Amino acid sequence: MRETLAMILAGGVGSRLNVLVSHRAKPAVPFGGIYRIIDFALSNTMNSGLTRAAVLTQYKPLSLMRHISTGAAWDFTGRTRIIEILPPRTGEKDSDWYKGTADAVRQNMDFIEARPSRQILILSGDHVYHMDYRDMVNHHRKTGAEVTVAMMPVPWEDTHHFGIGILDEAGRIVDWEEKPKKARSNLASMGIYVFNTPYLLDALRRTKDMDFGHHIIPQALADEVLYAYRFNGYWRDVGTIHAFWDANMDLIRPASGLSPENWGIATNLDCDLPYDRPPIEIHPGARVANSAISPGCSIHGTVVNSVLSPGVKVERGAEVHDSVLMHDGLVETGAILNRVIADKHVSIGPDCRIGIGDPSIPNERYPTHLTTGLTVIGKWAVCPAGTKVGTNCVVGPRVSETSWAGIPSLPDGGTKEA
């Protein structure tokens, strides 16, 4: 794997995650208590024996860059192991920003050429999964392909979200449909590619097309050098609010296959926890069932089917059900939360009722983001005592107590901004 260079694409906006990406890039969104989404791509790279990697950043990258730091958390330090962060080439004519996945790599061809490699492994920094890339690279070399796409079956009703491949008996991709309305196959691209380095550089020079899925992969199909690598393990694209919540819930579903600790997923524990948190406190009279609780949490009330990041406090008489609460949240006495995703430093006052209502009413402002009964609360938001918030709601970052003038309430499908 020393002949393979990894390029991790981590610059996307991820707008479907709504307020969770208002202050950070999608790969930097906290996940599963102590992790961030990009930890999975970084850890898979480390555990697959790759020694050279680059992270291509763009949208609100500061927290992501701070999290990656020197790469020491993933053992990317020393004379032979290195990770570099590659932002857009700001200030150059017509190339101030990455205009797509392929364009991001094109702008860094000099980085690739300065580090001789046999293959380039292109990864997405915003998926939750476990993969040993050695198997894929070996498969790529065995078939003699110029380009290999990691693919796995998805439910037929989800095929319109993906690039879909049609294969022959040898595993060569003979047709490609990018997000088809009516797919002919349910074998979907995972956004993971292996390219022979000369072919990738030539393809990027031949065209100014911007995207791998829409442009570069169809060109490889036309060149008849495109193969598939079938993957059957755990993989989730967490690009929507529901998918993000569902993947967090997989942590507490024994049969889901999501097992970060067993996979050896590492994170930068010194970044913003810090990780000198006290032990978990479960106080007399508290009830915790089927939940993932992180260090520094203090539970006096009830927590069921939920994921709590470090420092969350649930006071006596409060209830948290089917929810994801990020770092240093506070749920005060008598409050009830149901199917809520709350970002860092959210304060829920006494006797609030959050996420309770009619889940069939979609969010009025974001009708494609919130349709399954979840409610999302942005970073540093406050819900004062007695606040009532329905389902499919959005409470924006920094909503303060004064923002709720009068009777604090938000109907099903509503949005509250600071």
Q: What is the mean pLDDT of residues 231-240?
A: 93
Strand partners, 188: 152, 164
Over residues 361-399, the pLDDT tens digits come to 999 999 999 999 999 999 999 999 999 999 999 999 999
**What is the rounded distance in angstroms from the CA atom of residue 334 to the CA atom of residue 349?**
9
Q: Closest by alpha carbon to 348, among 370, 310, 375, 368?
A: 375
Give the dihedral of Cα atoms 401, 402, 406, 411; nearest 10 deg: -60
pLDDT one-digit tens code per residue, 306-355: 999 999 999 999 999 999 999 999 999 999 999 999 999 999 999 999 99
* Ranges 166-170, 314-318, 407-411, most confident: 314-318
Same domain as 310, residue 220: no
In a domain, 269, yes or no: no
The candidate with the shortest Cα–Cα distance to 28, out of 69, 58, 61, is 61
pLDDT in tens, 45-83: 999 999 999 999 988 888 899 999 999 999 998 888 899
Residue 273: which pLDDT band, with cuts at 50, 70 and 90? low
Which of 386, 376, 381 is closest to 399 using CA atoms? 381
Domain shared by 332 and 407, yes or no: yes
Number of H helices, E strands in the chain: 9, 33
Is 265 a member of any domain?
no
- Quick one: 53 and 150 in the same domain? yes
pLDDT digits 0-9 by tens, 275-306: 578 999 999 999 999 999 999 999 999 999 99
Question: Cα 193 to the chain's mean position, in Å?
Answer: 18
In a domain, 261, yes or no: no
| Arithmetic mean of pLDDT over the chain | 92
CATH of the domain at 15: 3.90.550.10
Number of domains in the chain: 2
Is residue 84 domain-resident?
yes
Other C-beta atoms closer than 10 Å to the C-beta of 289 total: 11
Burial (Cβ within 10 Å: 0-12, 13-18, ≥19) of residue 89: middle
CA atoms within 13 A on the CB side of 303: 30
Confidence of residue 92 (pLDDT cuts 50, 70, 90): low
Of 234, 250, 266, the position where a domain reaches its end is 250
- Angle in degrees, CA 417, 338, 34, rounded to 5: 80
Please indicate, yes or no, if residue 257 is contained in any of the structural domains.
no
Regarding whether 188 and 135 lie in a shared domain, the answer is yes
Candidates 155, 221, 213; CA nearest to 186 is: 155
Q: Based on the domain organization, do 283 and 197 belong to the same domain?
A: no
If asked whether residues 239 and 330 sit together in one domain, one would say no
First to last CA, the chain: 49
In the beta sheet, which residues pair with residue 293? 308
C-alpha 130/C-alpha 279 separation (Å) is: 28
| Whether residues 59 and 128 fall in one domain | yes
Residue 402 has pLDDT above 90, yes or no: yes
Q: Which of 250, 285, 319 is the last residue of a domain?
A: 250
Residue 271 has a CB neighbour count (10 Å cut-off) of 16
Q: Which of 203, 234, 250 is the last residue of a domain?
A: 250
Same domain? 112 vs 212 = yes
Determine the average pLDDT of the residues in 183-206: 94
Dist. CA 166–CA 149, nearest whole Å: 12
Residue 384 sits in a domain whose CATH number is 2.160.10.10
Residue 178: pLDDT band by 50, 70, 90 thresholds?
confident
Q: How far apart are CA 112 and CA 388, in angstroms?
A: 54
Q: Does residue 77 lie within any of the structural domains? A: yes
Whole-number pLDDT of residue 90: 57
Judge whether 260 lies within some domain.
no
Rounded Cα distance between 275 and 273, Å, is: 5
Q: Is the pLDDT of residue 156 over 70?
A: yes
Task: Supply the pTM of this predicted model.
Answer: 0.94
**Are 334 and 187 contained in the same domain?**
no
Question: What does the pLDDT read at residue 93?
Answer: 52
Q: Is the pLDDT of residue 109 over 70?
A: yes
Residues 298 and 417 in one domain: yes
Q: Are residues 282 and 245 in the same domain?
A: no
The pLDDT of residue 139 is above 60? yes
Pairing of strands 388-389, 353-354: parallel
* Listed range (9-13, 72-76, 179-183, 398-402) with the worst mean pLDDT: 9-13
Query: What is the predicted pLDDT for the residue at 274?
Result: 53
User: What confidence score (pLDDT) does residue 1 get?
Assistant: 82
What tokens does 185 get?
A: 């196959």
Q: What is residue 123's predicted lDDT score, i.e. its pLDDT? A: 97
Domain that holds residue 312: 277-418
Please indicate, yes or no, whether residues 230 and 312 belong to a single structural domain of this protein. no
401 band by pLDDT with thresholds 50, 70 and 90: very high
Residue 262 lies in a domain: no
